[in-house]
Amino acid sequence: MGPKWGVQLLRKATKGSAIMCPPADEKGKAGPKPAEAPFAELPAVPDFEAMAQNMGKLVEQAGKVTAAYLKPIERGEAKTGQADEASEMVKVLGRVAERWVSDPQKIIEAQGAITSDFLSLWSSTLKRLGGEQVEPVIAPEKRDARFADPEWDSHPVFDFVKQAYLLTTRWAEGMVEQADELDPHTRDKARFYVKQIAGALSPSNFVATNPELLRETMAQNGENLVRGMKMLAEDVEAGGGELKIRQSDAGAFQVGVNIATTPGKVIYRNDIIELIQYAPATETVLKRPLLIVPPWINKFYILDLNAEKSFIRWCVSQGLTVFCISWVNPDHRHALKDFESYMREGIFAALEAIEQVTGEKQVSTIGYCVGGTLLGVTLAYMAATRDKRIASATFFTTQVDFSHAGELSVFVDEEQIRAVEEQMAERGYLDGSRMSGAFNMLRPNDLIWSYAVNNYLKGKAPTPFDLLYWNSDSTRMPAANHSFYLRNCYLENKLSKGEMRLGGKRLDLKKVKIPVYNLATREDHIAPAKSVFLGSQTFGGPVDYVMAGSGHIAGVVNPPNKVKYQYWTGPKPEGAFEDWMKKTEEHPGSWWPHWLGWLEKQAPKRVKPRIPGEGPLPALEDAPGSYVKIKA
């Protein structure tokens, strides 16, 4: 097949499209485009003068991007860690390659497989160009929004590019799965890195191979790229030399103004927490107070996004006296604050303050994610010291058994933890961008590349979205705390084994006899439902295991008035998770009322409401306080 044949094929593939100029009419103007032509809405020829001007502006903005990147390097403030992460990826994928190179016959088979796929695709494309109706060799998943534009299917060139990408991705994933003698952790890491590379190299991420981007760029004479480069420069500047992709319109939200607005007061403060007591909204309240222990990996207002979605506001409206910990966003001064510090200066300090303002010696508690892990550790310590101030515990998507720890476990092995510890030793904390980046990498197409395309190639600012604003409001990790968590939980799984020691005590969750409500979510990649189920079996008292629909956030923040998702209840969480699932009952809508019934049944007595600041502890300031407003 010579060059002449290739040109004829390209002409046939692009016939009538805006890639080729349409025929001119008798007045020399571009004639009408046929209705079936791709890019029909584009002008036949862009304004080259405007395009040239915009390319000049693009270069100017690119210079600003470079300057923003170089500024922290010149000041000696550049963040470390990226080189280590890239080296780890190369090393892991190199191990996969070694397994294949050691067997020449397998290499030949692998090459034959991808060659066969591409021959099938080429044959299918030729038939399509000949006018035949053919089924695609491979199709994206229905939920894959990258290829939603109609021309990914209707235009043979873009359809070929799309299918070639999907075939290559499937082949690369297969290379990982079929590599012999890989240990499970290395295979998990290889899967993860292949997913990152595949996400980055998607043809949807490039102007030249994305039909929607081509249309917009031609129609706007490149103005979209200029706007995008300007935003890129701003985001690199905001990230201190690293790209911090904006996922929401940050100017649309202000904590305490239109987000985190449930009325209350900060009644206690120390080095690592502010304790918020929320104002009552009912004529009577349950006598037993509720303490919420949120994760410090994120900020607490995920449970108080707005009036419609706020779990905290809903609890108040049901007659609960709600207290919530707001963790400090730590800096170098908190380097030595470890898990024991967070227990004593966090949960224990909150319990003491609650007893002062309510007179109650016992509380109900909620722990969310790593806040739940801390709560579990605290309960085991309290059981060892016969401390009975916590009467019941609710866990939201919490792991206490890390044997099936989810996708974040790919970041945890001795070598990687040691590298993280070296980074933390320099400043006394792990920078917030590291954690937020890790979470975004769990869903790269949704949380990274979709925004990169929208922001920097389409030149569109993201729309206001409270959940994504919260997601980007990152927090730092104190060095001692984070090291303890990674080693004792993810790496060695000591808590579930009864081997963890804290405050001079060996912790045994079997000694925790209080009632537990353990909520998992079905699509959770951080705390998988199976992992939470196994964790339920480590407690010594009655456990109600409930599984909600959706994922780590949406499954928890699911108010009853939305009537979204569902939840499952079943027998005692024993045996295999798969067997338990067969015995469950599905319920439509939110699990919140079900949980409230469980909580109220334990201590139904009601009293007059407590007003924040009117007890022994005066109000220090209005909720949501000051700690939550500290930026990383």
**Catalytic residues, which ones?**
369
Q: Report strand pairing: 429-430 vs 477-478.
A: antiparallel
Q: Alpha-carbon distance 295 to 359, whole Å?
A: 27
- Helix 414-427, helix 82-101: angle, nearest 10: 170
Helical residues (DSSP H) of 130-251, grouped into ranges: 151-154, 156-177, 184-200, 211-219, 223-238
Rg (CA), the chain: 28
Asked, as a colleague might, if the bond just before 618 is cis with ω within 30 of 0, I would say: no
Q: Is 618 exposed, middle or buried (0-12, 13-18, 19+ CB in 10 A)?
A: exposed
Structure tokens at 190: 């290889």
Q: Is the CA virtual torsion 7, 8, 12, 15 positive or negative?
A: positive
Q: Alpha-carbon distance 570 to 573, whole Å?
A: 8
Secondary structure class of 35 (helix, strand, coil): coil
Q: Is the CA virtual torsion 211, 216, 219, 221 positive or negative?
A: negative
Residue where the block lists tokens 């939980």 = 489
Q: Is 187 exposed, middle or buried (0-12, 13-18, 19+ CB in 10 A)?
A: middle
Q: Alpha-carbon distance 273 to 119, whole Å?
A: 62
Q: Is 420 exposed, middle or buried (0-12, 13-18, 19+ CB in 10 A)?
A: buried
Q: What angle do CA 249, 250, 253 make, to 5 degrees?
A: 100
